[in-house]
Amino acid sequence: MNTKPHVNIVWLKRDLRLHDNEAIYNALNTGKLTLLLYSFEPLLINDKHYSERHWNFIKESIIDLNNELEHYNSKILAVQSDIIAVINQLQSHYQISNIYSHQETGVLVTYERDKNFKRYCKNNLINWHENINNGIQRGLKNRDNWTALVDAYYAIEPLMFLPKQQQLVTKEDVETLEQNFNIPDLTTPETSPFQKGGRTIGLKYLESFYKDRYSNYMFNISKPELSRKSCSRISPYISWGNLSVREVYHKAYHLKKTSTNKKALEAYMSRLRWQTHFIQKFEMEHTMEEASVNKGFHKLKKSVSEVYQIAWETGQTGYPLVDACMRCLNETGYLNFRMRALVVSFYTHNLWQPWQGATTHLSQMFLDFEPGIHFPQLQMQAGETGINMLRIYNPVKNSLEHDPEAAFIKKWIPELKALDIPFAHQPYLMTEMEQQFYNFQLGKDYPKPIVDLETTRTKASNALWKLRKDKIVIEESKRILKKHTLKNRFKNS
């Protein structure tokens, strides 16, 4: 006779929160004993898209969850192992009939992992319940009914975390289980330039944004320095699931009723929906991770230059705004949207490098790395979708418009700090005499421009516009519009 206790397993992935977590909510609704599990999987730890900053953020999120779970005398079982090996081990302690998690729109290795896990569950008579995550719908062939489905998801009030007494596996029992696993050290650096993980801090960012910072949202959204305060800065908390998009949206909706700056909130709310829209694209066409969604652009061949790529990655291209952005990103893990688009544009158009070459460095650097945003946006900014407006950003024009006092540039490129503002934007315009006057030597203190902006812009523009007339590109553009564009809205998205 099997005397092992029955338990529900909630497998946490990119949903590191207790509140408005449908997997947890549904598991608790059964009334059964529930164990909350997070696995640091080797397949992701070793994946090229992730870096230490991501794992530290996750560790901080788990510590924050454990602090909240203290009230319920419970904690997360955090282990380092392949997920199937974890469940195998847990089956020696419990009868497991149900596992709950969200549907992850992740990188290719997680897609393959989930297919293997589904087979494992079937073979072990385990019901694996996958829940919708942030409104993303699985299995869609087109967007005909997508808006109604997402509207229905957003309309639901955020789900409360209300476990019954002694429904969660106790902290003592979790610590006993830990003796059977490789337990990762959750310690992270006390001080770092990165935003700290966890719902508690995520809510503080959100509350300060809705209190007063949002009033300058639209004015400063494109400015590399001012946007660091005027934007919400909750993107990593959404990407790793400390906050749900729905609860963030609901808070904005209720605030709008009394706000004197409704337009700013409406703009912000539209971008929350935009986030769902782009992840849905990736969910429906995961091949975007490795190849352009428009197959006509597969014939576009670019010569890979390691020299160009290293200069771009390290902020040594000779174009101050590009370099300041890359140094800032490398150091802090954050850039505002326009600057992200600008550095990708420079990489793919001016340096004429394949967008795939930028994926790894950027994903490792972005603290808020979200696959469903990352890959579609890279392709869109590279001009390889066939349906979006071709945008080739001029870094000089953008620095003059969005960093007119060169404050951002001088902050991240200290070698330009002593220069007058015009030269901080374009140090390559300095004469020999002017360089002597500033005790500054171009090519030694700061690199000369690695390419000519106008020449490379013209080359990229001509090549991409010519390819857009290609028969396969045109056919693929029609296919993409039919599959990914909202019904009756056949326009760029």
pLDDT tier at 485, thresholds 50, 70, 90: confident
Number of structural domains, the chain? 3
Q: Which residues on neighbouring strands pair with residue 348, listed in sequence order?
A: none
**Do you know the residue count of the chain?**
493
363 alpha carbon, distance to own chain's centre: 8
Residue 228 lies in a domain: yes
C-alpha span between 241 and 289 (Å, rounded): 21
**Residue 254 and residue 234 share a domain:** yes
pLDDT tier at 180, thresholds 50, 70, 90: very high
Mean pLDDT, residues 227-231 taken together = 97
CB 175 within 8 A of CB 38: no
Residue 440 lies in a domain: yes
Residue 173 lies in a domain: no
197, exposed or middle or buried, with CB in 10 Å at 0-12, 13-18, 19+? buried
Where b means 16+ CB within 10 Å and e means fewer, 304-323 reads: ebeebbebbbebbbbbbbbb
**492: pLDDT strictly greater than 60:** no
Mean pLDDT, residues 10-38 taken together = 98
Residue 232 lies in a domain: yes
Mean pLDDT, residues 330-350 taken together = 98
C-alpha span between 261 and 319 (Å, rounded): 37
Last residue of a domain, one of 267, 284, 301: 284
485, exposed or middle or buried, with CB in 10 Å at 0-12, 13-18, 19+? middle
Residue 156 lies in a domain: no
**Residue 306 and residue 249 share a domain:** no
Where b means 16+ CB within 10 Å and e means fewer, 26-62 reads: bbbeeeebbbbbbbbbeebeebebbbebbbbbbbbbb
**Residue 230 and residue 83 share a domain:** no
Q: What is the CATH number of the domain that holds 82?
A: 3.40.50.620
CB 170 within 8 A of CB 73: yes
**Residue 374 and residue 477 share a domain:** yes
| Both tokens assigned to 421 | 């503002």
Question: Which residue do the tokens 């540039």 mark?
Answer: 409
**Residue 450 and residue 341 share a domain:** yes
pLDDT of residue 486: 75
- The identity of residue 160, as a single letter, is M
pLDDT tier at 487, thresholds 50, 70, 90: low
Residue 180 lies in a domain: no
CB 173 within 8 A of CB 201: no
Q: What is the pLDDT of residues 362-397, one digit of tens each?
A: 999 999 999 999 999 999 999 999 999 899 999 999
285 alpha carbon, distance to own chain's centre: 17
**Residue 344 and residue 269 share a domain:** no
Last residue of a domain, one of 133, 164, 181: 133
pLDDT tier at 2, thresholds 50, 70, 90: low
**Residue 104 and residue 16 share a domain:** yes
Strands 77-79 and 95-102: unpaired
Last residue of a domain, one of 269, 284, 299: 284
| Both tokens assigned to 276 | 């769902």
Question: Which residue do the tokens 């290719």 mark?
Answer: 108
**Residue 308 and residue 279 share a domain:** no
Q: What is the CATH number of the domain that holds 239?
A: 1.25.40.80
**Residue 359 and residue 257 share a domain:** no
Residue 184 lies in a domain: no
C-alpha span between 428 and 424 (Å, rounded): 9
Q: What is the pLDDT of residues 257-313, one digit of tens each?
A: 999 999 999 999 999 999 999 999 999 999 999 999 999 999 999 999 999 999 999
Which of 238, 239, 221 is closest to 230 using CA atoms? 221
Residue 29 lies in a domain: yes
Q: What is the CATH number of the domain that holds 421?
A: 1.10.579.10
**Residue 236 and residue 103 share a domain:** no
Mean pLDDT, residues 216-233 taken together = 97
| Both tokens assigned to 461 | 């523009």
**Residue 320 and residue 270 share a domain:** no
**Residue 311 and residue 228 share a domain:** no
CB 289 within 8 A of CB 108: yes
Which of 344, 328, 342 is closest to 376 using CA atoms? 344
| Both tokens assigned to 170 | 């106790």
Instruction: Print the domain residue range for 474.
Output: 288-484
